[in-house]
Chain A
Amino acid sequence: DVKVTQSSRYLVKRTGEKVFLECVQDMDHENMFWYRQDPGLGLRLIYFSYDVKMKEKGDIPEGYSVSREKKERFSLILESASTNQTSMYLCASSYASGNQPQHFGDGTRLSIL
């Protein structure tokens, strides 16, 4: 069974901390995505990666960075966490020919205090 695994389901951090969210997929997908999900706003794309070491900014990249050193792993980094980054974060992946995200992880609910 195909799988996208996010390292934490729940995470609590303090303002100003550097936060790492990890995502691993086992489907050999080229594309990987990071979204944040907020009530009433749906999903908003933070960053997208179409290959190792390649990345594109999404709609809301401010305050975030990403790293893709290996094909199966895509990390989201909050450089200096702030309370307005409290949210649900979803990782997703797809084949290169499938531009829409196809498989999602179960999400990380991040609280910044």
Chain B
Amino acid sequence: GDSVTQMEGPVTLSEEAFLTINCTYTATGYPSLFWYVQYPGEGLQLLLKATKADDKGSNKGFEATYRKETTSFHLEKGSVQVSDSAVYFCALDSNYQLIWGAGTKLIIKP
């Protein structure tokens, strides 16, 4: 079945560091891919998405490119801030539901 694998956390970085959170997937067909973010005490909210191969999703300085050849959708940001501390979830749509990665906790230190 469809699945999503993302790097384990926590990932701890200093402010202004470069961020990469890896996400790879297994799916039949060409699903849409998503990154959601969950701040402490809140629900999940969409960060960005890409609906077809080679699309780049971007939002709030974060980017991810849908790579069909490597079945990946890695999340990147050039300069992280303390306010980016959260849990990040990679997901793909499989018919009527999202298949979720386990989440990666990101901690940014000032």
Q: Real complex partners, A and B?
A: no
